[in-house]
Amino acid sequence: MSFIKIRCRRYIDDKNTFSFYTTQNWSDNTVNGTAKITDVSGTIVSNAPNVQNLDSKNQTYNVNYTHEFEKGHNIEFESTFSINKTPQYLLNQDFIQPDNGNLNYFNDISNERNNVLFNIDYTKPISKKGKLELGLEYREDNTENTNITNQEFSNNSSFTYNRKIYSGYVNYGHQFEKIAMQIGARIEQFNVEGNFNEVSKPSEDVEDEIFTIYPSAFFTYTPSEKNQFQLSYSKRVDRPNIQQVNPIREWSTPLITSVGNEFLDPQFTNSIELNYTRKVKGGSITFGGFYRNIKDVISRVTYQDPTNPDGQILTFQNFDDTNAYGLELSASYRIAKWWRANASTDFYAQKQFGVTDLNNPDAERLEVQNEVFNARISNSFTVSEKLKLQLFAMYRGENQDIQWKIDPMAMVNIGADYSVLKGKGNITFRVNDIFKTMKFKFDSSNPFVQNGQFNWESRTTYLGFSYRFGGGKNRAKQEDKGILMKNKAVADLFKTK
């Protein structure tokens, strides 16, 4: 694996800044795994090896130009172009065969993607207490997938999926005596074109155009130095990714075949949140609640494979609209001079409705009540002026949707940062999931009585080095730019996926 990142920033003068960065990432990996399946009596019905050869090449290029008319009044131009090529070669042993080592399933998959982004952001103070933010954005995502296979249930196929998003936003912020207000809206035109070709079958086309307005409003009331109340409303979108819409059938396990749903609709969420923050000695505590109305919920479903009575199709479906409610509690506290902790917990409840048996047009509409508790804590320890340690832990409670009951998950990460070369260099070391407890374990009775567990590569180790060039005047300019970026944070909330 090779990774290169180059970043350059040029301060042309006090009002003009130009920057450029690129990342180049190459990796060539071989993964050996096993899909082990037992029946209700404990008898092994499949112990199929899964061999994957992955060759990935990723490139990203970014150009940014900022002109500052005066303090707080600026315009920023940014463009990003990225290319991702991920050929994937898989070999899998056939289902329910003697352990003879024959590799009968074959997939040669090629994924090529390129993404283009252009955006302009403009910020202007209207008065001493008012600020206007405007922006335009164009985004284009193009994907082409091919799959060459010897699987009986699937022919050689290709899928192209192109998305174009035209958007603009306006945001106005105003500070009254004890109340801060920010209101705005994002206007968006979303166009998608897709084409699916499979040998010996008619070509399928997908086209869609969606016009959407995303309003947003944030109000902050600060009656005293130690107390603050926040009320907000926002609308956002979660669009299906390429794996969720790609209709090419791919081997997942001897019993499960994955296939995307090219007709999947985006998921829209309207949220209302109310929070109270109390400053205490050494930190702060925030308590709040939220209500969310979710339209066209995107969820994973499985149903019986019509070509294999013992198999299942794993795909994605839009479920019925639903509502979710929840409570959140978070705290940031300096326990000691050398120890700071950030912790949070949340609890939410949601009733889900939908149909999972996609083979049956008269299938029963199912309903389930889901209640989930989550917790996270992040600790930072200052050992010395140069050395800092981190400890992170998270817990995700039992989760249930219409088909699956998912067991709790937990993870513990550790890390260290060491400053070198008079503060200009930094060595970072990190280990994720040190106890290897991040496992997706599930039970289900629909469409079959079954249970299983997926173990992914959650335990990883990272060692990195970074070096900062420049300082003095340039560093001061970076700090000023950081302030501008914070002022622009609310506008960035409108930049949906």
CATH number at residue 180: 2.40.170.20
Mean pLDDT of 278-289: 95
> DSSP string covering 431-444, please?
EE-TT---EEEEEE
d(CA 106, CA 108): 7
pLDDT band at 482 (very low <50, low <70, confident <90, very high): very low
Which percentage of the chain shows pLDDT scores above 70? 87
Q: Which of the 8 DSSP states describes residue 93?
A: P
Identify the H or E element spanning 474.
Answer: helix 473-487
Query: Is 371 within 8 Å of 407 (Cβ atoms)?
Result: no
pLDDT band at 229 (very low <50, low <70, confident <90, very high): very high
d(CA 117, CA 318): 28
Q: What is the pLDDT of residue 491?
A: 38
Which residue range(s) make up the domain with 295?
A: 2-319+469-492
* pLDDT at residue 456 greater than cutoff 80: no
What is the amino acid identity at position 98? P
Which tokens go with 396? Answer: 């995700």
Residues 83 and 160 in one domain: yes
Query: 318-337: buried (b, 16+ CB within 10 Å) or exposed (e) per residue?
Result: bbeebebebebebbbeeeee
Query: 131-156: buried (b, 16+ CB within 10 Å) or exposed (e) per residue?
Result: bbbbbebebbbebebbbebebeebbb
pLDDT band at 270 (very low <50, low <70, confident <90, very high): very high
Nearest alpha carbon to residue 438 among 457, 414, 415 = 457
Residues 311 and 363 in one domain: no
* pLDDT at residue 339 greater than cutoff 60: yes
Residue with tokens 């173990």: 455
Query: Is 430 within 8 Å of 415 (Cβ atoms)?
Result: yes
Which tokens go with 311? Answer: 């198999």
- Examine residue 149 and state whether it is found in any structural domain, yes or no: yes
pLDDT digits (tens, 9 = 90+) for 191-219: 999 998 888 788 888 899 999 999 999 99
- Examine residue 174 and state whether it is found in any structural domain, yes or no: yes
Q: Which of the 8 DSSP states describes residue 459?
A: -
Query: Is 375 within 8 Å of 408 (Cβ atoms)?
Result: no
Q: What is the pLDDT of residue 89?
A: 64
Residues 231 and 295 in one domain: yes
Query: Is 462 within 8 Å of 430 (Cβ atoms)?
Result: yes
Q: What is the pLDDT of residue 254?
A: 67
C-alpha separations of 367 from 333, 355, 360, 364, 489 in Å: 41, 9, 17, 10, 38
pLDDT digits (tens, 9 = 90+) for 371-386: 999 999 999 999 999 9
Which tokens go with 114? Answer: 């390129």
Residues 442 and 394 in one domain: yes
Q: What is the pLDDT of residue 132?
A: 96
* pLDDT at residue 300 greater than cutoff 90: no
Q: What is the pLDDT of residue 470?
A: 60
Residues 264 and 412 in one domain: no
Residues 391 and 259 in one domain: no
Q: How many domains does the chain have?
A: 2
- Examine residue 288 and state whether it is found in any structural domain, yes or no: yes
Residues 102 and 204 in one domain: yes
Tell me what percent of the chain is helix, strand and coil, each rounded to the nearest 5: 5, 70, 25
What is the amino acid identity at position 311? G
Nearest alpha carbon to residue 341 among 395, 384, 284 = 284
pLDDT digits (tens, 9 = 90+) for 147-158: 877 665 556 788
Identify the H or E element spanning 61.
Answer: strand 44-70
Strand partners, 189: 166, 211
Q: Show the CA angle centred on residue 114, arms to residues 194 and 193, nearest 5°.
A: 15
Residue with tokens 């567990």: 453
Residues 227 and 136 in one domain: yes
Nearest alpha carbon to residue 408 among 458, 377, 434, 371 = 371
Give the residue ranges of DSSP H helices in 19-174: none
Nearest alpha carbon to residue 35 among 86, 102, 96, 89 = 96
- H helix and E strand count, the chain: 3, 27
Residues 473 and 454 in one domain: no
- Examine residue 54 and state whether it is found in any structural domain, yes or no: yes
* pLDDT at residue 220 greater than cutoff 90: yes
Q: What is the pLDDT of residue 97?
A: 45
Q: Which of the 8 DSSP states describes residue 361?
A: T
- Examine residue 391 and state whether it is found in any structural domain, yes or no: yes
Residues 185 and 141 in one domain: yes
Residues 118 and 183 in one domain: yes
Beta strands in 296-385 (DSSP E): 297-304, 312-319, 322-336, 339-354, 366-382
pLDDT digits (tens, 9 = 90+) for 121-152: 999 999 889 999 999 999 999 998 888 776 65
* Residues contacting 172, CB < 8 A, separation 6+: 126, 130, 131, 132, 133, 182, 183, 184
Mean pLDDT of the chain: 85
Query: Is 24 within 8 Å of 56 (Cβ atoms)?
Result: no
- Examine residue 305 and state whether it is found in any structural domain, yes or no: yes
pLDDT digits (tens, 9 = 90+) for 409-454: 999 999 999 999 988 899 999 999 999 899 889 888 877 788 888 7
* pLDDT at residue 234 greater than cutoff 80: yes
Residue with tokens 């420049």: 470
Q: What is the pLDDT of residue 214?
A: 97
Of 47-51, 344-348, 369-373, the poorest mean pLDDT is in: 47-51
**303/182: higher pLDDT:** 182
Which tokens go with 86? Answer: 């991920």
- Examine residue 341 and state whether it is found in any structural domain, yes or no: no
Q: What is the pLDDT of residue 236?
A: 95
Q: What is the pLDDT of residue 94?
A: 47
* pLDDT at residue 244 greater than cutoff 60: yes
Identify the H or E element spanning 34.
Answer: strand 16-38
Residue 262 CB-density burial (10 A; 0-12 exposed, 13-18 middle, 19+ buried): buried
Residues 369 and 433 in one domain: yes
Query: Is 194 within 8 Å of 205 (Cβ atoms)?
Result: yes
- Examine residue 28 and state whether it is found in any structural domain, yes or no: yes
